[in-house]
Amino acid sequence: LAKTTQPISMDSYEGQEVNITCSHNNIATNDYITWYQQFPSQGPRFIIQGYKTKVTNEVASLFIPADRKSSTLSLPRVSLSDTAVYYCLVGDSNYQLIWGAGTKLIIKP
């Protein structure tokens, strides 16, 4: 099962673009890359998922290079409410995803 490495914490300011990079050197051919967001005392919430190249939705973009050994979650124009823990996961089935400690993102005014 692939494991991921991501920064423990990051700070940014309101209105900035935030990029969180995740390393997954052992990603398997069938694995997808999925990002979740978790606020304190709440369950994780799906943000975005991709397999290769670029995926964009109304919340974020996900950039995946050709070798798929890393991925970058991009949050445009963050606000204070984006302060949360962000988890990068790789796998081909929901229950086999291995959850690390995530990246604690703090947005400052």
Partner 1 sequence: NAGVMQNPRHLVRRRGQEARLRCSPMKGHSHVYWYRQLPEEGLKFMVYLQKENIIDESGMPKERFSAEFPKEGPSILRIQQVVRGDSAAYFCASSPLSDRVGTEAFFGQGTRLTVV
Site for partner 1, residues 71 to 90, rule: CB under 8 A:
87
Residue with tokens 């790789």: 90
Regarding 95 and contact with partner 1 (CB under 8 A), the answer is yes
In the complex, minimum distance from the CB of residue 43 to partner 1, in angstroms, rounded to a whole number: 3
Q: List the x/- string, 32-71, binding to partner 1 by CB under 8 A.
A: x-x------xxxxxx--x----------------------
Residue nearer to partner 1 on the CB measure, 75 or 102: 102
Residue nearer to partner 1 on the CB measure, 48 or 109: 48
Using CA atoms, how far apart are residues 9 and 102, in angstroms rounded to an integer? 8
Residue with tokens 């709440």: 42
Residue nearer to partner 1 on the CB measure, 49 or 83: 49
Regarding 28 and contact with partner 1 (CB under 8 A), the answer is no
In the complex, minimum distance from the CB of residue 55 to partner 1, in angstroms, rounded to a whole number: 12
Residue positions counted in the chain? 109
Judged by CB under 8 A, the stretch of 12-20, 62-70, 76-84, 96-104 that binds partner 1 is: 96-104
| Buried residues in 40-60 as b, exposed as e (16+ CB within 10 A) | eeeebeebbebeeeebeeeeb
Report how far apart, in Å, the C-alpha atoms of 90 and of each of 34, 52, 95, 106, 108 are: 6, 12, 11, 24, 29
Using CA atoms, how far apart are residues 51 and 68, in angstroms rounded to an integer? 8
